[in-house]
Every structure is written in C-alpha cells, then in structure tokens.
Chain A
C-alpha cells in the first residue's frame, strides 16, 4: 500500500473519529460533562437510515431523518441525564451514572427493536472510486474528509464570531457568571447537545456504508471519539478534537499497514498514553508541552 493511500484512508476514517471527538467535546465544552451516550447517537442515525432506506425511501431523505433522530436523542440525553444532575451539584460525578445508564437503555432498546445482527446500509457514495495519484479513494471517503473540514471551520466561525458562540464560551468559562449576565444556560446547552448529536449522526452516515447497521456500533465509535478528543485536547477547544481524530486515523492506518492487521486495536492507545504522559490535557491544550515549542507572544497586562 502506498504512503499516499494510507495517509488518505487514514484521514477519511480519522475524519469520522474527529467528528465523534468534536461531538463529545461540544457537549463537554458547555456542561463539563462527558456524554457516554454519544456513541449511541451515531448508532441511532445509522439504524434509522438503514431502516428507512430498506423501506424504500430515498437515501437522502433517510439521512435527514437519521440526523434528526440523533439530535432528538442528544437533546433527550441532556434533559433526562444531564440537566437534573447539574442542577443538584455542578461538580459531582453523578452525570457519569446517568449518561451511562442512558447509553445502556438506548443501546438495548435498539437491539430489542432491530435485533442484534447487522443490516444493510445504503451505499450513498461508496460505490464511486476516485483515483488520486497512486491511491484510490471512494467518493464516500472524500466526502468524509470534506465534511469534517467544513464542519470544523463552521463550528470555529460560529464559536468565535457569533453572539451565540460567545455566549457558549462564556458559559464554558463560568456558567454561574454567564447566567448572572443574562445568558440562558439551558437553551445554550440544549442547542450544544443538538449540535453534538448532529455531528455524531453525520459521523454515522459517513461510516455506515462500510460498517453496516448494527445496534452495538455506539460503544466502538464512542471510545474512538473519546481518544480523539483526549489526543487533541478537545476538552479545551472542541476543534482540537478533529485534529486528534485525524492523527488517530492516520496512525491507526499506518500501524495496520506497517506492523500487522491487528495493530490498530492497540496502537492508538499507545499513542494516547505517550501523549498524555507528555501533555496531560492533550496535544493542543493551553498548557501543552508541544505548544510550548512555539511560544505565543506573552499576554499584555492592561490597566
């Protein structure tokens, strides 16, 4: 396999990991909660798209319905499993119990409805091959990379340039202060969770043609998304999770190509451990040892 081939395939799968990482990071950003049900949102969109497509609907209509379902599940997870916990104590770990419980309930409900076996998923763009240099990608893979780039850029633009994004940043920094100056923390959190559901749903639609529809997809992709977020330092900057995901995808593909076909099972963890030892909050976090190599201009004190 050529270098270019595994680089590009790595970026394609990494884009999916990155989207999952960003999904986790966006809800974490506003609520300081890691949503263990994030993977289930990917799964729900995959299952809905598969079912509707099998029932004869247009795949694009099915995709829209699938994404809507992911958003709904995400908002439900906030209302049922996150909001009541944070209302009691913003710093307790109770959300861990409730989001995990939510994930278990959703996953098993899906297994109950659709059965535990894999079902067909519409190919979308997976049947179109595109040669690039000496590598061959499917149009679906190119779509994944393109969508990841567009969504990351759009998210950063919204976060930094719009009032809504700034309110989100204010809530991320200090929810009590933000609500004291009139920010509606609940509304912002609901929208953030809906966006995180959307990202997870899109990741599902992108990966569905190669994994097919299975109710147990959520756990795997949730874990990879988590690793992507931690490698990148997405807990501080959601966009950093995308870079973590891309790095993870390329490294996993590279390990498969150069070590052996099982290497992608353990290699990402090794990378994660090394990165966390050097920089406990991820590659692109503010205190990162890697960033210290290129120091920013020191902050200027005012007043």
Chain B
C-alpha cells in the first residue's frame, strides 16, 4: 500500500517544482534587461529637447507619486488621498529652504524624506482610527488644509508661488550624459520601482495582503498590523515627499499644482493603470500627464474627452489596464492543477520539540471572564475555563452561548470587561493578538480568513512570519540579498510541506479563491500548523465539511495531539468532537454549565436538555 502512494505524491509535486524553474531563467534575465533598457531610455531623454524632457520628467514625478500610493492602496487597502499633501510638503520645504535659506539641495533630500515620513506616520496613525472610505476622507482633508495653508501663508509666496531651486549640471567630465536633472528624476523613479518590486517579491507581500484582506488572520499569525500600516504609510509619504523634492527643480512651485484634485488624480492614475501591479501606476501616470500634451486640440474639448475617456477606462477595465492583461495572461499560463486531493496524510512530520515541564498547571486559563457587546446583555458571565497541557479541550453550547466570544478573548481580539486570561501561567491581559501568537498560541476562524487572490502556499507563508527574523526590515532589498533568496525558498518549502501534511499538497499553487471549501479549511489549519504552535484554538473547523473530510480532519487533529499540541476546539458536531476530547466544557447563555470528560457530558441531564434538545 505504501510505495505506490509515495510515487503518486512525487508525481504531484514534480510539476510544481519544475515549472517555475523553466521560467526562472527568463525571469532572472528580465531585471537586468529592463534596467539596461531603462538607462538607455534615460540617456535618450537627457539628450532630447526641453519639451520632451519636461513631458517625461512630469510623467516620471507623477509615476513616483502613483507608485507611492499603490504601495499603500494596492498592498494594504489604504486609499490615501493625502499623497498630494506630502508632495506639497516636499516641494515647498525644498524650495523655501533652498532659495530663502540657501541650504544645499542634497542635504534637503534626507530632510524631506524623514520629515514627510514622520508626518505620514502621524497622519496615518490618526487616520487609521477609521477605515475604508473614511480613511480616504481624513487624508483628503489633510491635503485640503495644506493647500489652504500654501495659499494663505506669506512664506509660500501665495497664489503666485515661487521659482524652485536649480538642479546643478554635471561636471564637464560627465557632460556627455546630457541634462543632469533628467538622470536624477529617472534614477529616483527606478529606485521607487525597484523598492515596490522587491517588496512584492518578498515574504512581506503575502503578509501585507493578509493585513488588507484578513486582518484578524494576520494578527493571529503574530503580525503587528497597526505598526506595519503606520510604518508603510510613512514610507509611502516619504516617497511622495521625494517626488516633491524632484518637482521643485522643474520650475515654479505654486498652490495650484498641489490642490485637492492632484491627490484624486494620483488615485485615478493607479486605478486606470491597474492597482497592485508594478507597471500599472506608471502607465496611469503617463496617460494622465501626457494626455493634454499629446492630444493637441481645443482645451475644453480635450478636457471633455479626458473625462469621457476616464469613465470608459474604468467601466471597461475595472481592474485597470495591467490588471486586465494580467488576468488574461494568467488564465493561459495557470497550470492545470490536479483535482486529486485524496492524497494520504504523511505521518512523518517531525514531532515538534520543546522542553516541557509538565507541572500540571493549566496551559490556558480564564478566570472570572465577563464580557458584553456595547451596553447590551452580558455575553459571558464569570466564566472560569482551564485547559491542561496536551489536551484537546472541546467547547460546546447552543448558538449565541458565547463560544466564539470566549475564543476571541483567549486569542486577544476582544478585551474582557472583567477577569483575566493566563497563557502558560502568564497573565496576558492587555496583550495584542500578535503578542499572544509569540507565546505559541495560534487560531483558526469560523469563516476562513485568507487572501483569496494568493495561492494557498503564500497564505501559509504568513504563518511563518514570526519564525523568520527581519522580514519587514529586509523586504526592501529581498531579492538582492542571498539570505533573502535562501529564507524565501525555505519558507515556501516549509509552507508546501505543511500543506502536504494536512493533505492539501496538490493545491499548493491554486489561489484560495479557486479552491473548494474543504481545502480552504485545511489551508487554515496549515497556516497555524506551519508555525509549530503549542496551543491552537479552532473555531468550528468542521463546519461545511463532508463526512470524509471530517474524518480526515479528526485524524489530523489526532496527529497534532500526538505531537503534544494543546487544542481548544469549538464545534457543534459532537460526533466528530467527543471522541477527540480529553475534556469538554459546555457553555449556555454565557455561563459554564459543566466541564468534564465527553462521556460525563454526554450523560448529563442538563446538557441533554439545553444542548441536545431532549
């Protein structure tokens, strides 16, 4: 029975590992070819006439702005309308300090980057109290205020604005290169492109998307989502400030160039070109900035045409131009993923080693937990709950009895109104979910929280966030670092192993949005299992699974228990749950009815009455 199964597994994994290898050489050649072409193009622009140069430079500056917005809007879902504001800060700071206080422009660059970065982090921290559209609106108000300030303050030169500083020419030895400011702007754009592309190739990318699409999942995997959001927003603001620094060399700086419509236009560029793509924002910036120069007709007709075209663009290609191209190419390239998921589970995964001092103390303990949503009824009343190390502890109760609420309190998503939670004997009250994850606590969600547009393996990589140091720090250079290459490959291998271990090995390359419900649940399990946690909280893992899938899940949980993992399982299907459990706690209307072994619980008359409906 065993050998054929092994070979079948080899067959399944082989195509997955060879396919990227074939494209690998092409893909590795792409970057150098792109850079050489880009530098040749820059050389050509630097030699061309002033009209061409100003067209290209304005487009490049706005491309940087669009990339800075795509960094937060595409990867984190933060639709900032504050980019115009940071752009203005960069331009005005440079112009005022360089022309009125004669500060060297190259000293101003770090000042602008740091200044805008800090302002961005502050604005981000303030605006992140609200999400979605309200975030866009608060950042928009920031831009409005800055425009008003620029118009009304005396130091900014009012409506007329002021002439920006001149960018120094190349020394004679480099004069053959052409106009220096062209090289400066184009190299800055190249750096911006490289930064975003590197992040997109790094393991931070799935983490960022998980913050965007499934924040509870990211938090439960140990990601400090708020810090990352604020930090990345600061980086994006610094990039917009860089664009402002560059813009001040191109002529007059006046409020009209930074008014509220600029921030909107930057978002238009990103959306028309294709959000969350590397090339999309650049194409969008070229379209928006070059349109008036290329379509040379009556200015009003031209504007009417521009308006009509943007409506057409967004209604015909809602994902943007690049998004559309990608989807069509993607559909053609996507390998036919095999539908064979009856793959047997390998029991071979190494037991998770840990020095356990089993002193009989509970590994998870809740003491006197009180909780209510808003001012309504209490959902939990004085709940005491103890889980012994190595146990599978069932948590059952009718709908609305407070099971999921209790799970959320243990995991740190909700704060109890009274009482405390102890994990491994340590009080964790007030600790964020990400800190509890570092203690070895992981959880799954009733409705799977995953990034639907990423393959299952990338989702599982998020679970490894804490086990690889410096993911955030290194992400800006990830593909260039040998350690990045090694760690990335390692993480992917571990993730694929974890998926194979839960029996989803043939779905490693399939997008979560395309897999059946059962595989989605198994992927969730792989995201927690891959981190080698000590405690797992499972919120209704068997919901919606078929009978054979439930059996499969029970076997997996049994294996985890054999490895010494403690589990708290919330479940309605007692037929699945009871055979697994060492202990079962019954909740009803927010109170603990009984904690005992499955047999005692099953026989208890009160439980039969309230829960089993007898």
- Give A94 to B272 CA distance when docked, in angstroms: 8
- Give A85 to B215 CA distance when docked, in angstroms: 26
Contact of A94 among B136, B138, B271 (CB under 8 A): B271
The reply to whether A269 and B141 form a contact with Cβ atoms under 8 Å apart is yes
- Give A298 to B145 CA distance when docked, in angstroms: 38
The answer to whether the Cβ of A237 comes within 8 Å of any Cβ in the partner chain is no
The reply to whether B303 and A93 form a contact with Cβ atoms under 8 Å apart is no
The reply to whether A112 and B318 form a contact with Cβ atoms under 8 Å apart is no
- Interface magnitude class on chain A: 35 or more
Chain A proximity mask over B486-510: 1 for CB below 8 Å, otherwise 0: 0000000000000000000000000
Contact of B310 among A91, A98, A235, A280 (CB under 8 A): A98
The reply to whether B375 and A298 form a contact with Cβ atoms under 8 Å apart is yes
Residue of A nearest to B312 (CB): A101
Chain A proximity mask over B313-336: 1 for CB below 8 Å, otherwise 0: 111001000000000000000000
A76-128 contacts to B (CB < 8 Å): 80-81, 84-85, 88-89, 91-94, 96-98, 100-109, 111-112
Chain B residues, CB < 8 A from A111: 300
User: Do A301 and B264 form a contact, CB below 8 Å, given A94-B314, A98-B315, A101-B311?
Assistant: no
The answer to whether the Cβ of A262 comes within 8 Å of any Cβ in the partner chain is yes
- Give A39 to B286 CA distance when docked, in angstroms: 28
Chain A residues, CB < 8 A from B377: 301
The answer to whether the Cβ of B33 comes within 8 Å of any Cβ in the partner chain is no
The reply to whether A108 and B303 form a contact with Cβ atoms under 8 Å apart is yes
The answer to whether the Cβ of A266 comes within 8 Å of any Cβ in the partner chain is yes
Can you give 7 A-B contacts (C-beta < 8 A)?
A81-B315, A97-B272, A100-B310, A101-B306, A105-B311, A270-B145, A276-B141
The answer to whether the Cβ of B478 comes within 8 Å of any Cβ in the partner chain is no
Chain B proximity mask over A246-286: 1 for CB below 8 Å, otherwise 0: 00000000000000001001100110110011001100000
B351-393 contacts to A (CB < 8 Å): 374-377
The reply to whether B300 and A97 form a contact with Cβ atoms under 8 Å apart is no
- Give A272 to B144 CA distance when docked, in angstroms: 10
The answer to whether the Cβ of A32 comes within 8 Å of any Cβ in the partner chain is yes
B402 shortest CB reach to chain A, Å:
14
The reply to whether A89 and B318 form a contact with Cβ atoms under 8 Å apart is yes
The answer to whether the Cβ of A299 comes within 8 Å of any Cβ in the partner chain is yes
Residue of A nearest to B308 (CB): A105
Residue of B nearest to A84 (CB): B315
User: Do A104 and B271 form a contact, CB below 8 Å, given A276-B138, A299-B376?
Assistant: no
Residue of A nearest to B146 (CB): A269
Chain A residues, CB < 8 A from B301: 108, 112
The answer to whether the Cβ of A200 comes within 8 Å of any Cβ in the partner chain is no
- Give A101 to B145 CA distance when docked, in angstroms: 24
The answer to whether the Cβ of B545 comes within 8 Å of any Cβ in the partner chain is no
A260 shortest CB reach to chain B, Å:
10
The reply to whether B148 and A269 form a contact with Cβ atoms under 8 Å apart is yes
The answer to whether the Cβ of B268 comes within 8 Å of any Cβ in the partner chain is yes
The answer to whether the Cβ of B309 comes within 8 Å of any Cβ in the partner chain is yes
Given A112-B298, A223-B260; 9 other pairs, CB 8 A cutoff: A81-B311, A89-B318, A100-B307, A101-B307, A104-B304, A108-B301, A265-B151, A269-B145, A299-B376
Residue of A nearest to B260 (CB): A223
- Give A230 to B129 CA distance when docked, in angstroms: 16
The reply to whether B267 and A280 form a contact with Cβ atoms under 8 Å apart is no
A238 shortest CB reach to chain B, Å:
16
**In the complex, which of the residues B129, B267, B307, B308 has the most CB atoms of chain A within 10 Å of its own CB atom?**
B307
